[in-house]
Amino acid sequence: MGDDEVQAAREFLGWKHAPFDIPQDIYAQWDAKEAGAAKEAAWNEQFAAYQAQYPELAAEFTRRMNGELPSNWDSETQKLIADLQANPAKIASRKASQNVLEAFGKLLPELLGGSADLAPSNLTMWSGSKAITADDASGNYLHYGVREFGMTAIINGIALHGGFVPYGATFLIFMEYARNAMRMAALMKTQNIQVYTHDSIGLGEDGPTHQPVEQMANLRQTPNMSTWRPCDQVESAVAWKAAVERKDGPSALVFSRQGLAQQERDETQLANIAKGGYILKDCAGKPDLIFIATGSEVELAVESAAQLSAAGKQVRVVSMPSTDLFDKQDAAYRESVLPSDVTARIAIEAGIADYWYKYVGLDGRIIGMTTFGESAPADELFKMFGFTVENVVNTAEELLA
C-alpha cells in the first residue's frame, strides 16, 4: 500500500497504536493460558479416571495415539505373506490389495479407508468396512466423492491428528489432481497411504486420457515418497505391510487392473522383497544380461529370460517393486543384485522409459513408453508398444551383439 496509504488507513480506523503494539486490554482477551491450563488439567484428570476404570481400552487408545502396531502384527503379517506364496493365484494386484486389506483390517482397528468415488474399481472396501455418514460417525470408511485433492488433503489432516492409519484410493492417472497434497504429505512426513489402481496402458479401451505414462516417475522422484508397483499378490502384501509400518512419510501403492501370474520364490527371495529390489530368477555364474522389471512386466521379463536361457544365454531377472527402498540398501546388497561389471541391462516397464536410465546406464536398453497410449484392448496395446517376448528377446540379442 505504501507508507502514506497505511497511515491514512490507521487514521480512518482510529487506530493510534504503533505497529506490533497490542493494547493490554485486547491482549488480555486473547491470552488463554490460564483457561487452557485448566482445561488440560481437567482432561488429564478425566483420562486418569478412564484408565483406572477401563485399563484395556485405555491401553489400546494410547497404543493407537502413539502410532504403535499391535503386538501380533509382525507374526501375523509374515504368516500371511508365507501363506500367499504357498498358495499361488493369478489375480489383478488391485484384487490382491483387497485381499490384504481383508486380513489387515482384522488386525488394525485404526485402519481408516476411503476412495474418490471409485471404491468398486479400486477394491478398497473389505468385509468389515462401514461407511461414515452424516448420521453415523462410527464407521471406518469415507466416500470422498470425485475430489482427489480434497481426499488426499483430508488424509493428511487425519494422519497429523493421530490414532488412525488412513488410506485413500483412485486411478493412478488421477494422482495428478492430488499431486500437491501428496507432495505436502512428503514435506510434512505424514503417513498418507494412497492406493492407485489401473496402473498402465493395461487399462485398455478408456484410452490415453486414463492411461498413466509419466505418473510413476513423478511419484518415484518426489523426495520422501515411497512408491510400490508389485508384480503379484505376494509383493502386494509386502507393499501394504511396508506402508502400514512407515510412519515418517507417504506411500503410493500402484496396482494393476489385469491379472498377474504369481512368481516362484524361495525364503531368501521372499525376505528380500522388502528391500525394494531382488533377484527373482538367476543363472549359473556371471550374467550375460540383466532384466529389471516391475508390476505386470515382471512376468514378461521371466518369460523372455527363459527363452534366452534356452538359447544358451546367462540371464538374471530382477524384480524391483520399490526403487526408493532398493536405493536405500547398502552398497554391498545393491552390487549383489546389479553387479557393476554387468552393463548389458534392459529395464521393462509400461511407463515412461527415461526414468530407468539410472539403473541400466547409457549402454543399456529400456522397453517402456515414450508416447501416450491409445484406445484399444490391453493385449493389443502391449503388442503395439513392444511389450512382447519377441520384442524383448530381439532387443536383448541386439544388445548382446
Q: Which residues are catalytic?
A: 148
Q: Mutual orientation of helices 73-86 and 233-245 as an angle, nearest 10°?
A: 170
User: Beta 251-254 vs 226-228: how paired, if at all?
Assistant: parallel
Q: How far is CA 229 from CA 52, 163, 258, 264, 365, in A?
A: 46, 27, 13, 18, 20
Cell numbers representing residue 185 in the block: 504429505
Q: How far is CA 348 from CA 93, 102, 293, 303, 387, in A?
A: 18, 31, 5, 12, 8
